[in-house]
Structure 1
Amino acid sequence: MEGHIFEYHKEEDTVDIEAFQGEKRRLIQPTSLKDPKLERLKEALVDWINRTLKMEHIVVQSLEEDLYDGLVLHHLLSQLAGVHLPVEEMALTRTAQLHKLEVILEELDKRLGLQDSCQIKWNIKLIHNKDLLATIHLLVAMVRCFQPDLDLPPNVKVDVVAVEVSSGGIKSHVQIEVLTEDSNTGSDFLSNSEREDPIEQLLKLEAHKVNTVKKAILHFVNQNMSSMGLQVADMDKQFADGVILLLLIGQLEGFFIPLYDFNLTPVNQSEMLHNVTLALDVLNDIGLQMSSVNPQDIVSQDVTATLKVLYALFNKYKEK
């Protein structure tokens, strides 16, 4: 592999060495590409993407070929974080694709808590150039952030050839790159407190203990909604359209969310999803990170997702 790389760059050097000055490339060794662990990781990521985007009729077959233009990443971000970015649905030209990726990756890096560029193992150019290493790093980071309970194959490592072109020639070295760590050592990219989410732990307890906590949260909700003449009787269902959730956040924070920003009487799933997405965005803005909660889950009356949001509010405002 190293020999082929050297030959390739030397041929280019005879044409125009300046065109490659300062270029650094990191390529997975062919032997690692055949590693069964890497194959299982790729299959797991493809399966995760396809399950997440099933309702949107998007099917991914290859991580290298299907993510470079930003369409899949755009829909993943929308589904997982409820983020709707002002980018065109189908970017057909290279310029349009690069712009779309720039907007998407900027938002993703912010959601992943990676403003420090030295922590980021992907960029616009790498993703658009179908770089498998960068694409996998990005997807693993997204899984760890948005769905930390998803089991990815542990202890996946690859041999990577790092090549740098300079005026003095070509330098290269081989290093081991960790894609996922041993399952006993915790998260492989981000530290996820979500792995010990109190609500997920709670729901593993006896039913009467779960009901006790739910009653306490319900009392907290109704106490704060009473001034508006509203009362919640069914926590699992009444938050699905996002209306009461938005009103509750406004009450707790002491601000009014303009009625034109959301649907006060939503009549379909799209309007409900808009409301819930707006509510989660507001929570993120006030410092309650709900990155592990998918807006669609709340609309679908998922008990765990709804409780996570309400518990976060309860935990912050119960003493006020």
Structure 2
Amino acid sequence: MSSTTPKKEPGSPTKEKSFIEKVTTLGRKKKKDSQDLDDLNLEGIHAIDSPGSPVDIVDQLDINLEEGEEIYLIESESKDDAKLKELMQVLKEWITEELKEQRIIIRNLEEDLHDGQILGNLVEKLSGVKLEVREVMQSEVFQKQKLTRVLEMVNQQMNMQRWTKLKWSVDSIHSRNLIAILHLLVALAFHFKAPIRIPEYVEAKAVYIQKQEGMLHAKKVTVQITATNEAVGGRFERDAFDTLFDHAPDKLNVVKKSLVTFANKHLNKLHIEVTDLDNQFDDGVFFILLMGLLEGYFVPLHCYHMTPENFEEKVHNVNFAFELMEDAGLPKAKARAEDVAQGHLKSVLRTIYNLFLKHKQADNKI
């Protein structure tokens, strides 16, 4: 009855791929002096990574900052961090999925988003608001004008106040600053409730540079890019499941077995056997059936998709199950429907446990 979300098949390596490569790489070719500038910055960052004080090395970087302005430059070793790579891959796949109708494939966040073209397409798709700006621009001036309009819309959509200290800017995005780009994309995913699972507690080692009294000052810092994944759909405090996942995997297995026993005690009445929490609840059907069994009513089949055929139908089912739970007086689920539909185990466990708590008098305690 339940099935995991099918993996996306890679694009066809034919003329279509050739066309897409041209689209996604538009504007990447720069003048030789621009490439030399990038090489100089990389050389300076490498020097910062090596032994020695960042303050002694910062003059090697060709960076123009206004008085009081600051910037974070990611250290090269941080780009090899597994969680950071995972975050980047998740974001690339998300943007590619959102813009698939425009035949756009994201291969490199910094290169593909820095000129504002694809970023503008993404914001239009997410917000449903059309940006009245040029579509294609080679000039740096026009690119920054586009970015300015895009970021103005982003800040407006997310209700950012003028005095709010933002983690991104036109200059940082246009200069391919990975940390700024990641902060922006994560904020967009959170605000528009993207149907993705964002890796938790992703950090990056960086060099923090600020201009004070006409001088550039630098120090090494650790930048937090994401916190808890559940904050995508609403900011929740850490709970017992966070602790179990982080520090007590042995006890987690005990909890999983107990919740399977609880679910089977009721679903067995319909001759349904639960063996795998990871994959059998992602389509929401078992949650709906459980609610009917626990509360003593029949859920009309036209209210949900008995055999969902796509991700949207799974999300519909889970949201419907959440509505049934709230109608029954259960606390609001500390999970997003999109996370459950993607098989996010922590979200699935929280949802089942929500049911267990209300009916624990009739069942064995965990």
TM-score with structure 1 setting the length? 0.55
* Correspondence 1:155-194 to 2 at 5 A: 155-167=201-213, 169-183=215-229, 186-187=230-231, 191=234
* Correspondence 1:93-172 to 2 at 5 A: 93-167=139-213, 169-172=215-218
- Quote the Cα distance in structure 2 between the aligned partners of 1:20 and 1:76: 30
2:359 match? none
**In the alignment, structure 1 residue 40 sits paired with structure 2 residue 123:** no
CA contact (8 A) 1:155 1:182 kept: yes
1:10 match? 59
- Quote the Cα distance in structure 2 between the aligned partners of 1:98 and 1:174: 29
- Quote the Cα distance in structure 2 between the aligned partners of 1:58 and 1:171: 40
- RMSD of aligned C-alpha atoms? 3.8
The CA deviation at 1:180 is 1.3
- Quote the Cα distance in structure 1 between the aligned partners of 2:288 and 2:109: 39
Aligned positions, number = 212
* Correspondence 1:228-247 to 2 at 5 A: none
Select between 160-169 and 84-93 the one with higher mean Cα deviation.
160-169
* Correspondence 1:216-231 to 2 at 5 A: none
**In the alignment, structure 1 residue 25 sits paired with structure 2 residue 71:** yes
Distance verdict in 2 for CA 1:133–1:107, change over 3 Å: same
1:50 match? 96
CA contact (8 A) 2:55 2:219 kept: no
CA contact (8 A) 2:106 2:112 kept: yes
CA contact (8 A) 2:54 2:220 kept: no
CA contact (8 A) 1:165 1:171 kept: yes
- Quote the Cα distance in structure 2 between the aligned partners of 1:67 and 1:42: 13
1:258 match? none
Q: Which runs of 5+ in 1 are unaligned?
A: 194-199, 215-296, 312-320
CA contact (8 A) 2:148 2:170 kept: yes
- Quote the Cα distance in structure 1 between the aligned partners of 2:105 and 2:219: 37
- Quote the Cα distance in structure 2 between the aligned partners of 1:52 and 1:204: 28
Give secondary structure in 1 for the equivalent of 2:231. Answer: coil
Distance verdict in 2 for CA 1:210–1:68, change over 3 Å: farther
Match of 1:57, as an amino acid?
R
CA contact (8 A) 1:144 1:192 kept: no
- Quote the Cα distance in structure 1 between the aligned partners of 2:165 and 2:68: 20
Give secondary structure in 2 for the equivalent of 1:72. Answer: helix
The CA deviation at 1:28 is 1.4
The CA deviation at 1:30 is 2.2
TM-score with structure 2 setting the length? 0.49
Q: Which runs of 5+ in 2 are unaligned?
A: 1-47, 237-282, 293-297, 305-310, 324-366
**In the alignment, structure 1 residue 74 sits paired with structure 2 residue 120:** yes
The CA deviation at 1:34 is 1.5
- 1:87-140 Cα offsets, whole Å, 9 max, x none, are 111122111111111111111111122224434210111111111001000101
- Quote the Cα distance in structure 2 between the aligned partners of 1:303 and 1:24: 41
**In the alignment, structure 1 residue 63 sits paired with structure 2 residue 112:** no
